């Protein structure tokens, strides 16, 4: 499985979600369900075969397992995404973190790295985060 070959934009969006989900070494059922929901419902994934998600996830994990894996993953994501999809990648990653209702420090750190590496504006990131918090709020 090639780990350095270029990603498609769809694959890069999946990589962003996998990075935050795998950051704490625990990809939960809620996170995986959220990924599936995003891939099957978000317009950004029009034309993408959702059955490819496990293969793309495995590739992302293989990249992460290499020396400088996180940096290599960011390089692949950035190279594959046009500027117009970088906020989208960040928003999808935030949705994965929000799926568990409690973010780990590792997830928050990877989100911060995604924001910086994809050059997502701080105010745009705050708006994305606030929107996710509102969508995932529960009545107690």
pLDDT, tens digit (0-9, with 9 covering 90-100), for 85-135 = 999 999 999 999 998 878 889 999 999 999 999 999 999 999 999 999 888
pLDDT, tens digit (0-9, with 9 covering 90-100), for 33-86 = 999 999 999 999 999 999 999 999 999 999 999 999 999 999 999 999 999 999
| pLDDT greater than 80 at residue 4 | no
Q: What is the dihedral of CA 120, 125, 131, 137, to 10 degrees?
A: 130
Which residues, including other chains, have CB under 8 Å from residue 129's CB and lie 6 or more apart? Answer: 94
Q: pLDDT value at position 14?
A: 98
Q: pLDDT value at position 80?
A: 97
3-state secondary structure the chain: CCCCCCCCHHHHHHHHHHHHHHCCCCCCHHHHHHHHHHHHHCHHHCCCCHHHHHHHHHHHHHHHCCCCHHHHHHHHHHHHCCHHHHHHHHHHHHHHHHCCCCCCHHHHHHHHHHHHHCCCCHHHHHHHHHHHHHHCCCCC
Res. 3 pLDDT band, cuts 50 70 90 = low
Global pTM reads: 0.93
The tokens for 11 are 């694959």
Q: pLDDT value at position 58?
A: 94
Q: Which of the listed CATH numbers 3.30.200, 1.20.120, 1.10.3680, 1.10.10 matches domain 9-135?
A: 1.10.3680
| pLDDT greater than 60 at residue 2 | no
Q: pLDDT value at position 12?
A: 98
């Amino acid at each position: 499985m090639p780990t350095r070959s270029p990603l498609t934009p769809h694959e890069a969006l999946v990589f962003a979600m996998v990075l935050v989900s795998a950051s704490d070494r625990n990809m939960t059922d809620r996170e995986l369900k959220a990924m599936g929901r995003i891939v099957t419902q978000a317009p950004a994934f029009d034309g993408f075969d959702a059955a490819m998600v496990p293969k793309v996830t495995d590739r992302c994990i293989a990249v992460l397992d290499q020396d400088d894996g996180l940096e290599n993953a960011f390089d692949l994501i950035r190279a594959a995404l046009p500027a117009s999809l970088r906020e989208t990648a960040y928003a999808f990653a935030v949705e994965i973190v929000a799926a568990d209702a409690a973010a780990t420090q590792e997830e928050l750190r990877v989100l911060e790295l995604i924001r910086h590496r994809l050059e997502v504006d701080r105010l745009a990131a705050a708006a994305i985060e606030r929107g996710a918090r509102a969508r995932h709020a529960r009545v107690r």
